[in-house]
Amino acid sequence: MTETPHTVMAVDVYNDKIKHLLGPEDGQDGNQAWAGRIHFHRLNIKHDSRLEGLIKMSDLTINLAAICTPADYNTRPLDTIYSNFIDALPVVKYCSENGKRLIHFSTCEVYGKTIGSFLPKDHPLRQDPEFYVLKEDVSPCIFGPIEKQRWSYACAKQLIERLVYAEGAENGLEFTIVRPFNWIGPRMDFIPGIDGPSEGVPRVLACFSNNLLRGEPLKLVDGGQSQRTFVYIKDAIEAVLLMIENPSRANGHIFNVGNPNNEVTVKQLAELMIKVYSKVSDEPVLDVPMIDVSSKEFYGEGYDDSDKRIPDMTIINRQLGWNPKTSLSDLLESTLTYQHKTYAEAVKRATSKSVAS
Ligand code: UDP
């Protein structure tokens, strides 16, 4: 918003996280570079007659609305399927009917498991990129059985992707689909008991941040052997900005947005976060800094996991010239500095209160 002249109509059920961006009509100071260019509308896209009017007034709709925390996929599968598929339908329909551009946020989870994960553990082909690199126009979507409700999210996202794609093919909808690969950075999710429910389970960055802030061991689900690639939110926003600014190069495409150079196992992520947090907070590392927990204990029945996620960057690089820049250690340093500055005092107060009572 600082770098572009656009006006945004933000639609959500809450505005807690963007309050500082809003103008005087929302009780803020209005001196920012984007003053008067961000308008907030409190409404729920699943049942509000104002939605079509807002889409008609805009050149472009970006749909980010979804339940996208793994702890919900197996415990609230109906909400997960409804929010990711059914509730997105009106947005797709109104864009298509009114000839408006749509950037729809999907997920790298539509790829599911890698082909290589079905090979024996020490099979040499597991090292062959053909068996694990995820390509938008080539890789299949491989999910577990229905009773593994983890895949309710991936399946709903796959179907909405297919619907958006079909609207493009049959009715000429101008669309772009984004598949984020573990975007992380400041302001992600919530810290349980501070700015979110105390029993809530956010994604791994916030879970580990919460453990570090509270001086607790980090919990490695099933040994933390799954692999992820993490991309810094600021790099990812640059990719989205390029999509916004270059419709002719972005329309009709599905883009992986991730950083293939930042791959770690979850255990390695934990080790790095422990080291970086100790540096930025000046607090010593615990004697037992990590513990193993079973996925059943941590997430409940029906959890399953994606084994490995390396995004192929060919299409986004060719169409938009985008490449991620920030290394994992740099992004963790700025993110954990933010977490410490933002939450350390509040966590201390909350812990001393609960000890006193
Ligand atoms: N995970 C973990 N400990 C935690 C939270 C998550 O070991 O406290 C693991 C989780 O099982 C998964 C990975 O970290 O293998 C990433 O989880 P996240 O919730 O960030 O989302 P995902 O990448 O699976 O969509």
CA of 86 to the centre of ligand 1 (A): 26
Q: Could you report the per-residue pLDDT of 158-204, keeping only the tens digit for each?
A: 999 999 999 999 999 999 999 999 999 999 999 999 999 999 999 99
**Mean model confidence pLDDT for the chain:** 96
What is the structure's pLDDT at 28?
64
Domain ranges of the chain: 43-350
State the ipTM, two decimals. 0.99
CA of 271 to the centre of ligand 1 (A): 14
- CA torsion 113→118→124→128, rounded to 10°? -30
* Domain 43-350, classified CATH 3.40.50.720, yes or no: yes
- The 8-class DSSP code of residue 16 comes to G
Q: Which residues contact 278 (CB under 8 A, 6 or more apart)?
A: 284, 285
Per residue, what are the HEC states of 27-54? Answer: CCCCCCCCCCCEEEEECCCCCCCHHHHH
The 10 Å Cβ neighbour count of residue 125 is: 12
CA of 300 to the centre of ligand 1 (A): 14
What is the structure's pLDDT at 25?
67
> Within 13 Å and on the Cβ side, how many CA atoms surround 100?
23
What is the structure's pLDDT at 27?
61
> Within 13 Å and on the Cβ side, how many CA atoms surround 327?
4
Catalytic annotation present for 153: yes
- 221 Cα nearest atom in ligand 1: 7
Candidates 94, 111, 153, 343; catalytic one: 153
Q: Could you report the per-residue pLDDT of 270-327, keeping only the tens digit for each?
A: 999 999 999 999 999 999 999 999 999 999 999 999 999 999 999 999 999 999 999 9
Gap between the Cα atoms of 232 and 327, Å rounded: 8
What Å distances lie between residue 27 and 18, 30, 48, CA to CA? 12, 9, 25
Compute the residue count for the chain. 357
Q: Which residues of the chain have pLDDT under 70?
A: 25-30, 357
